[in-house]
């Protein structure tokens, strides 16, 4: 059971918008710790997608955006493309565990 809860799967048609939630608690996201998002394409290593809740590293398309509110964070992908089909993970810090923590991951299927 992950400290950060993500939906196991989401799907959308090409061109559509999808969102992936990451729900935490008062000891992690709700405590003010920022959230990062990683994309893991099939058979590859994770890649940093969003950092500090809403910032995109250089090279990440602006179709990807992030937000945070209260004890949750969200990743939004607009203009869905086949190449976006991947697993997405949120990451934060938990003060009760004194550990970095990941969400359980969300598999995105492009229909």
Partner 1 sequence: EVQLLESGGGLVQPGGSLRLSCAASGFTFSSYAMSWVRQAPGKGLEWVSDISAGGGSTYYADSVKGRFTVSRDNSKNTLYLQMNSLRAEDTAVYYCAKEITIFGVTTPLNDYWGQGTLVTVSS
Q: Which residues bind partner 1 (CB under 8 A)?
A: 2, 32-36, 38, 40, 44-48, 51-52, 55, 57, 87, 89, 91-93, 97-105
Nearer to partner 1 among residue 15 and residue 57 (C-beta)? 57
Helix-then-strand count for the chain, H and E: 0, 9
**Closest distance to partner 1 from the beta carbon of 11 (Å):** 18
DSSP string, 21-47: EEE--TTTGGGT---EEEEE-TTS--E
Measured distance CA(54)–CA(59) in Å, rounded: 15
Nearer to partner 1 among residue 80 and residue 103 (C-beta)? 103
Nearer to partner 1 among residue 64 and residue 78 (C-beta)? 64
């Amino acid at each position: 059971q992950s400290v950060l809860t993500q939906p196991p799967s989401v799907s959308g048609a090409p061109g559509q918008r999808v969102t992936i939630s990451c729900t935490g608690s008062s000891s992690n996201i709700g405590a003010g710790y920022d959230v990062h998002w990683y994309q893991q394409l099939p058979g590859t290593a994770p890649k940093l997608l969003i950092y500090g809740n809403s910032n995109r590293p250089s090279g990440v398309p602006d179709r990807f955006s992030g937000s945070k509110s209260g004890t949750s964070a969200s990743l939004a992908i607009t203009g869905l493309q086949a190449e976006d089909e991947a697993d997405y993970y949120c990451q934060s810090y938990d003060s009760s565990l004194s550990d970095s923590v990941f969400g359980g991951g969300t598999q995105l299927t492009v229909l």
